[in-house]
């Protein structure tokens, strides 16, 4: 602190300070955690014009061994100002001031660290001031506290530091460089989350009432710093937690998808097994029979009669023509249809059970033709390999017609058959006579 402050103006006509702050307002603070990859924990902090970086190494084995403590870890704190951190180049290396600040800062962290959990170990805290603008010790303590958290070292709570002072006869919070250089007093403190003070220093002169006012104001400033520290930690580790949660959610979704696929496969396998068992037990056949019977029960007799009459009228003439062509030898048949079996059923003799077969035949007729065509293609391929041909397919063509429609055609057919029989008998007699002549010549 300098006593030459006659020409320095600390407040304007509005009561604001030289940097346009109110008396109880701290300077803007910027924090970034985890800036050094080789350190166990690190933090970069900007507070007003101050730029500070802190790094934590440990807990690790203490060297030299003579410094080891059997019951707890040894805490080592090193505060250093770079030679380019101030306007006038500072002398590099340790100084009386830096040694003092290192000692009081180390003592500020000893109450909050669980040093007894790491016997014979060392926790090293290094703080480098890259740019100084008043309040470097409090800025260093705030950065070191966050670096310890980043290193994962157990602590009873965060340590927050701030300073109050007297300039122009007024108590103000967080002095800047002109206020620190030309002010009347400076009161830096460090405080835990529960309000315990771990560091207090004072430079200058304060009355008891001014000291109480300064203490109340600086504690308010430490609480503001604590909120900023918590926000920085939340920003740092909330992103990490979100990434981990996303990974966990993705893994859970993958596991759920796998489980659902397995369940679906199990259900499909169970359905296949159930279908196989039902097929073996004939349950499907029984169900099919029940469905068919129910369908036929819904058909009335009028519909049956109409269906039979329609089929009979449509097929009567075609069947008659086929029979006449077949008997006269003019019917052109394929090799697969060389044997034509025809069953003529009188519609008056049809009972409901026969109608079921007729209905089934008509419904499945087209499907059977397609299946027979595929089977015939396969049989032709097999016959070419075996050198054998099967002319008879072993099936019978069933037609339902009115037998009365075939009476006239049947009479004509009978006459044709009788005529052909007479001709065959005459030929047989002629052959017999020819045989007799041959026998006479031999005699």
The one-digit pLDDT tens for each residue of the chain (443 residues) are 555 555 788 898 888 998 999 999 999 999 999 999 999 999 999 999 999 999 999 999 999 999 999 999 999 999 999 999 998 898 898 899 999 999 999 999 999 999 999 999 999 999 999 999 999 999 999 999 999 999 999 999 999 999 999 998 999 999 999 999 999 999 999 999 999 999 999 999 999 999 999 999 999 999 999 999 999 999 998 876 666 666 666 666 667 777 677 766 666 666 666 665 655 555 544 554 454 555 545 556 777 778 777 777 777 666 666 766 666 666 555 544 444 444 445 555 556 666 666 666 656 655 655 665 566 666 555 555 554 444 444 444 444 444 455 455 555 555 544 555 555 555 444 444 444 444 444 43
**What is the structure's pLDDT at 417?**
47
**Rounded Cα distance, 359 and 361, in Å:** 5
Exposed / middle / buried, residue 172 (Cβ in 10 Å: 0-12, 13-18, 19+): buried
CATH number 3.40.50.2300 is the correct assignment for the domain at 29-243: no
**Rounded Cα distance, 257 and 249, in Å:** 12
Q: Is 21 helix (H, G, I), strand (E, B) or coil?
A: coil
Of the candidates 347, 329, 346, the residue with the CA atom closest to the CA atom of residue 338 = 329
User: pLDDT tens digit string along 122-170?
Assistant: 999 999 999 999 999 999 999 999 999 999 999 999 999 999 999 989 9
**What is the structure's pLDDT at 126?**
98
Of the candidates 154, 131, 159, the residue with the CA atom closest to the CA atom of residue 144 = 159
Query: Quick check: bond before 64 cis, omega within 30?
Result: yes
Backbone angles phi, psi at 301, to 5 degrees: -70, -35
**What is the structure's pLDDT at 432?**
43
**What is the structure's pLDDT at 9?**
86
**What is the structure's pLDDT at 414?**
52
176: which residues sit within 8 A by CB, 6+ positions away?
17, 18, 19, 27, 48, 49, 133, 134
Structure-token pair, residue 326: 């077949």
Of the candidates 134, 139, 109, the residue with the CA atom closest to the CA atom of residue 31 = 139
- The full length of the chain comes to 443
**Rounded Cα distance, 283 and 292, in Å:** 14
**Rounded Cα distance, 347 and 28, in Å:** 108
**Rounded Cα distance, 34 and 55, in Å:** 9
Q: Is 131 helix (H, G, I), strand (E, B) or coil?
A: strand
Contact criterion met (CB below 8 Å) for 322 and 401: no
Of the candidates 169, 170, 199, the residue with the CA atom closest to the CA atom of residue 187 = 199
User: pLDDT tens digit string along 203-256?
Assistant: 999 999 999 999 999 999 999 999 999 999 999 988 766 666 666 666 666 677
User: In the chain, where are the structural domains located?
Assistant: 29-243, 261-298, 300-442
**What is the structure's pLDDT at 284?**
45
Contact criterion met (CB below 8 Å) for 194 and 156: no
Helix (H) or strand (E) holding 330: none
**What is the structure's pLDDT at 304?**
77
| DSSP 8-class letter at 65 | G
């Amino acid at each position: 602190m300098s006593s030459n402050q006659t020409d320095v103006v600390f407040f304007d006509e509005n009561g604001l300070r030289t940097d346009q702050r109110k008396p109880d307002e701290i300077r803007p603070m910027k924090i970034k955690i985890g800036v050094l990859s080789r350190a166990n924990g690190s933090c970069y902090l900007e507070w007003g014009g101050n730029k500070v970086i802190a790094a934590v190494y440990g807990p690790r084995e203490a060297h030299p061994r003579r410094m080891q403590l059997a019951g707890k870890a040894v805490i080592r704190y090193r505060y250093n100002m770079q030679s380019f951190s101030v306007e006038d180049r500072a002398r590099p290396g340790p100084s009386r001031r830096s040694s003092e600040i290192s000692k009081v800062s180390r003592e500020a962290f000893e109450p909050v660290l669980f040093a007894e959990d790491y016997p014979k170990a060392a926790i090293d805290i290094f703080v480098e001031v890259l740019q100084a603008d008043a309040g470097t010790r409090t800025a260093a303590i705030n950065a070191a506290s966050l670096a310890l958290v980043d290193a994962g070292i157990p602590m009873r709570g965060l340590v927050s530091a701030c300073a109050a002072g007297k300039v122009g006869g007024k108590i103000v919070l967080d002095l800047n460089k002109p206020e620190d250089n030309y002010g009347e007093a400076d009161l830096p403190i460090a405080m835990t989350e529960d309000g315990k003070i771990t560091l207090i220093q004072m430079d200058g002169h304060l009355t008891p009432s001014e000291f109480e006012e300064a203490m109340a104001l600086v504690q308010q400033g430490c609480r503001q710093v604590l909120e900023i520290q918590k926000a920085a930690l939340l920003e740092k580790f909330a992103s990490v937690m979100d990434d981990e949660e996303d990974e966990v959610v993705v893994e859970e979704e993958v596991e759920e998808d796998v489980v659902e696929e397995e369940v679906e496969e199990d259900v499909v396998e169970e359905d296949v097994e159930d279908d196989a068992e039902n097929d073996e037990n004939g349950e499907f056949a029984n169900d099919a029979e029940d469905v068919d019977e129910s369908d036929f029960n819904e058909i009335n007799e009028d519909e049956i009669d109409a269906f039979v009459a329609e089929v009979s009228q449509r097929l009567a003439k075609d069947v008659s023509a086929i029979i006449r062509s077949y008997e006269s030898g003019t019917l052109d048949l394929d090799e697969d249809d060389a044997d034509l079996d025809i069953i003529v059923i009188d519609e008056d003799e049809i009972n409901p059970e026969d109608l079921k077969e007729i209905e089934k035949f008509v419904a499945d007729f087209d499907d059977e033709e397609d299946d027979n065509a595929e089977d015939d293609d396969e049989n032709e391929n097999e016959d070419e390999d075996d050198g054998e041909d099967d002319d008879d397919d072993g099936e019978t063509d069933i037609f339902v017609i009115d037998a009365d429609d075939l009476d006239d055609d049947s009479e004509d057919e009978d006459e044709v058959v009788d005529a052909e029989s007479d001709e065959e008998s005459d030929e047989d007699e002629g052959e017999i006579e020819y045989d007799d002549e041959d026998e006479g010549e031999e005699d």
